[in-house]
A and B are shown apart, each in its own frame.
Chain A
Amino acid sequence: MAERPATGGSGHGALTEEFVGEWRNAAYNCFSSGHKFCREVCPVMQVTRDEAHSPTAFHANVVALEQGHLTLEDVARDYVHCTQCGACELRCPNTLFTGDFYRFRTRTVDLVKAMRALAVDSGIHQPAWQRWNELTDRWGNEPVLGNIIEVSQRHVRDWAAGLDLPVGGETVLFCDCEAAFYRTSVPRAVALLLQHAGVEFGLMREQWCCGGPAAEMGYVEQARRFAEHNVADWRAAGAKRILVLDPHDYITFTEDYPRYFGDDFDFEIVLVVELVAELLREGRIELTVPIDRVATYHDACRLNKRKGIHEAPREILRAIPGLTFKDVDHVTQWSYCSGAGAGLGIERPDLTAELSRRRVEKAAELEIDTLVSACVWSERPLGEQGREQEIEVFDLMELMAESAGFEV
């Protein structure tokens, strides 16, 4: 495609000029269409109905920046309104059809991340995100709200008390911050299932936050530092294979880290849900304890929409004896989201609560008593709304461990 230098023309800083130069054609590909198929599938737009929060606007703003009609200050706050779930990219006709010709794919998530990074690098901060990332930087882990365990390196492995897990080894389990300090039953369930199946694995020597949330909120330098720390820790531990129990971390390790480290990033990244589904298939895990519940599955956005992973969780649910599983197909779930991702819940907790309320309401229409997720970050807002609607929210690993006869 024809390139021409960004003109700017309104006295933008060099950073904005560079950003516009990088994104102008991709932005124009959306702007020129302007048909907004993304709007009705976007979980945030479904709540705010504010056109300035639409993926179309996120692209159009780049054109407006280039033309000098808008400034970074005008638009930075709008980009808070995105969970980076990826639904808009899937629904974009440019991705679906015409893009085929040039292997073009709409990359709204990357654009939102880039715009947030540009804002931070230009000194425009969202107050709650700034505070969150300062604390993460100070403590090494995210300042998980209402933590059960004090957030600190001293306690990062407390969740594993009594499980007798080694530190280091060829295979390392990376435990997400929310799981390590709040929903500790999830990593415990994972550890018990893997131990039972004879999978050898250890923990990190010093596990910091993966850095993904910082990258999602625009704190790129910090994200990179955290990545370097974790990779150094893996190497020091002799790790070759990293087990990941949280979809957000899975995105960070399979998309951000390879971008940071290039070919040097030679670790095998394994999603726990896929691994345990395989162990189940091989008969190394047996689900024998009936779970007398009527459940539906919440497709984790980062698995379903970002990675196309929706079969393994369903396979596990169908294997649980006693469980009545009322499924909603993964394409319908493109428009569902808990609202927990990409810092929305930190900066706009009201929106996260409303997204979760609507998600749980959809589940309630199925006349179920249990909503199962495979994303630990979604489980807190969904659980809060579930309590209002008398629906219990479980992690898939919690349910699976119970059916395998473990108490977590």
Chain B
Amino acid sequence: MTTTALSDPVLEELVEILGADHVFTGRSARFNRARVPAPFPVHRWPEHVPDVVVLPTSAEQVAEVVKLANRYRLPVVPRAGATGLTDGAVPLRHGILVDVKLMNRILEVDLEDRTVTVQPGINMLKLNEELRQHGVMYPDDPASYPCSLVGGRIGTSGWSLIGGRYGHARDLVISFQIVLPTGEILEVGDGGGRKIRKSSTGFQLKHLFMGHQGTLGIVTEATLELVPRPEAEFSAFFSYPDYETAWRSTAALARSGLATLAGVVLFDEWKVRYLRRDDEAYIPQPPEVKAVVATALYGTSDEVRPAARRLLRIGLASGGEYLGDEISQGDWASRHDRYATPLHGRLAGGQVVPMSWHCEDAAVNWSKLPRVREEWHAIVERLSDRHPIFDDWGMFAYTNGAYKPWGDYLTEIDVGIWEQELDDESWAAWVQAKRDIAEVTVRHGGSISACHGACRAGEVDLVPLELGGQFDVMKKIKRALDPLNVMNPGKYLLDQAYEEETS
């Protein structure tokens, strides 16, 4: 069996650090850690296969592996759930893949100061199963809630479906321990106290070490927020005769000022059409329904009951029609399973083919949503005209701000891709479409990603344009913290930091 390109001394040292049981060189172990769910031409799979996989069990082991990577100048790539959509966990330059899934213990539940401290390989659903007995929960609720892991949520600075009420990963992660690209173990928080939520001491480094897609280190422990399990949940879905009414109604609902409002979700007419066409689980709506808005409230019953009445009033007064309890409760309850809308799509002639789901996301202000939407659909239409293996599955817009869900929106366009047929030409067309989508976002004053990160081919080209001078600071920081460029190299155009150094 072919194993790996790494030299024997590296493997010997890794075995010394981790033990032979936690160092994998077999082809299956490596190929199965090359991908994330984002579509990719399957014939190019071997381009991103790591040379060796390690499964550490402690921060000290991770630190030793990173130091070794520096000694040998080998890429080192962190991987948690590998459910991200921007290739953060993909080893673009091969090297040592650090899979943190074995580090999945709960280290401390502190019911006095309301924190839980965990290792990075734990999943939120599993964590909440354990927390239930204490009447608390960790409310980070991405679409990937049943499968993504805390370490990846920090590396992505991910977005939560109920973030309007509870905040997103950056609001919920209080502090963490991270192994820096040079192997030092650092405690990062809002100030120095591990369980302090707000500090004004020193630089605020917590945000710096979140959302870097593994380019600034590997999280080995995290202290997270605990909130009371909500007594009451209320969800309401409204339908509309046209997009514009739904868009205005979304604003009315989001601006309601209800503190229990977890989020507002706008389905555009492409999305409703797609669901009606190809998703039997979606309760069919009459043809006059062109757009849908979903809302959800969480909190104590004393708060949620009156808030629900008010929410319904606003929805109806702004042109919505209540879709009934079945779809309101059922569709909201199934929101995580809906995340995976893969399996099939259609060619232009209506022929059903197996398709992979991909989603391009952005943060866009409310006022810009209609224009961005039109331009994005036009981009995908041009793409699928030339390459019928792409299918427009419509758009969502979700309230984006934590606790202030009214100014900006996470908007996404879902595109079905017949990945089995993806050749180099259609892949290049897809990458260009992603670039065009990102360009529209930036032109309208948005941000290329609210949720996934922006380091895949295509959109990443626009990151310097979006960030301007901030990108230069990013490069300086990267070079200062990772002088040899070993930590997840090839992401976010950060190689440029080193090119400038040599020139």
Contact = CB atoms under 8 A, between A and B. Distances in A.
Q: Verify that A and B bind, or say they do not.
A: yes
Interface of A: 1-2, 25, 28-29, 31-37, 39-41, 49-52, 54, 56-57, 60-61, 63-64, 67, 69-71, 73-75, 78, 91, 93-94, 96-102, 104, 332
A33 B356 contact: yes
A49 B55 contact: yes
Nearest to A73: B1
B340 interface: yes
Contacts of B101: 49-51
A63 B340 contact: no
B46 to A, nearest CB: 6
Given A35-B83, A74-B27, A98-B342, A49 B1 contact: no
Given A29-B342, A35-B83, A98-B344, A52 B279 contact: no
Given A37-B146, A70-B31, A98-B281, A28 B126 contact: no
Given A33-B340, A75-B28, A93-B339, 18 more contacts: A29-B342, A32-B356, A33-B37, A33-B343, A36-B147, A37-B336, A39-B147, A40-B123, A51-B33, A56-B32, A60-B35, A69-B31, A93-B337, A93-B340, A97-B341, A98-B344, A101-B344, A104-B343
B281 to A, nearest CB: 5
A175 B157 CA distance: 56
B26 interface: yes
Contacts of B351: 2
Interface string B353-395: 1111100000000000000000000000000000000000000
Given A69-B45, A94-B342, A1 B352 contact: yes
Contacts of A64: 31, 45
A67 B42 contact: yes
The A contact surface, by secondary structure, is: helix
B339 A51 contact: no
A33 to B, nearest CB: 4
Interface of B: 1, 24, 26-29, 31-33, 35-37, 39, 42-43, 45-46, 55, 81-83, 99, 101-102, 104, 121, 123, 125-126, 129, 144, 146-147, 278-281, 334, 336-344, 351-357, 419-420
A232 B420 CA distance: 46
10 shortest interchain CB distances as A-B pairs: A32-B356, A34-B37, A93-B340, A49-B101, A33-B342, A57-B32, A74-B27, A98-B343, A97-B281, A93-B337
A345 B104 CA distance: 24
A34 B420 CA distance: 14
B271 to A, nearest CB: 15
Contacts of A78: 28
Contacts of A35: 37, 83, 144, 147, 339-340
A49 B343 CA distance: 26
Contacts of A51: 29, 32-33, 82, 99, 101
A28 B279 contact: no
Nearest to A91: B146
Nearest to A53: B32
Contacts of B26: 52, 74
Nearest to A101: B280
Contact of A98 (B27, B31, B36, B340): B340
A104 B126 CA distance: 28
Contacts of A70: 27-28, 31
Given A1-B353, A29-B342, A98-B343, A67 B45 contact: yes
30 contacts: A1-B344, A28-B420, A29-B343, A31-B42, A32-B355, A33-B357, A34-B356, A35-B83, A36-B83, A37-B147, A39-B81, A49-B121, A50-B101, A51-B32, A51-B33, A52-B26, A61-B28, A63-B42, A67-B42, A70-B27, A78-B28, A93-B340, A94-B340, A94-B342, A97-B341, A98-B340, A99-B343, A101-B278, A101-B280, A102-B343
